[in-house]
Amino acid sequence: MGRLVRKPQLPDLDEQIAGLEGMLQGSIGGMQMAGAQSGDNYLERMVKYVPAEIIAFSMLVNSILGQAVISGGPKAAMAGFPVIDIAAGALILACLLTPLFCWYVREEGDAWIVNAIVSTVAFPFWAYLMGAVAFAKFYDGNLAAILVLTFTVVSGLISPWPRRPKRRKRTETVSADGPHLVEALTA
């Protein structure tokens, strides 16, 4: 299981036809399609869309900023900048890092673009739940829990499109011993 949501893969029809050679038509009911792979299910997608690494980064930064607000009051500053402005900048930076992280950890078969979009939209909800300093004026723990639960349940419904198998390009070559059919995979 990868870190990002996996795309389902449609079956390769060439493999299907090759697998049917020599079989009776009536005996193939309920057979697994050759080359078909299911993607992640609802619960796996719901969990994988949570930008956990970015949330951890954000929690660390916000704990530092929160301590500055506690010790300095509402007008707290760091290096001459208001802590609230630094917190807003950290929130924006974390939102920008989320798709970058998804791109960085992607593997073959991952739906990293869908994952990046959903995780980027999810991050502010999770930051609000964790009590991000940028949301200090608007924070309500009950509302935060309702928003995160609702978004997480709905996000599991977002499923990437299946990836299609690579097409085979057929070419015929002629040599001294006669014509030959050559297949090559193309994108």
- Residue 123 φ/ψ region, left for φ over 0, alpha for ψ in the -120 to 50 degree band, beta for the rest: alpha
The whole-number pLDDT of residue 187 equals 52
Range of the domain at 122: 1-15+35-187
Let me know if residue 23 belongs to a domain: no
Domain count, the chain: 1
Let me know if residue 26 belongs to a domain: no
pLDDT in tens, 66-111: 999 999 988 899 999 999 999 999 999 999 999 999 999 998 888 8
Buried b vs exposed e over 7-19: b needs ≥16 C-beta within 10 Å? bbbebbeeeeeeb
**E strand or H helix that includes residue 12:** none
Let me know if residue 97 belongs to a domain: yes
Let me know if residue 10 belongs to a domain: yes
Let me know if residue 24 belongs to a domain: no
Q: Percent helix, strand and coil across the chain, each rounded to 5?
A: 55, 15, 30
pTM (whole model) above 0.85: no
Let me know if residue 22 belongs to a domain: no
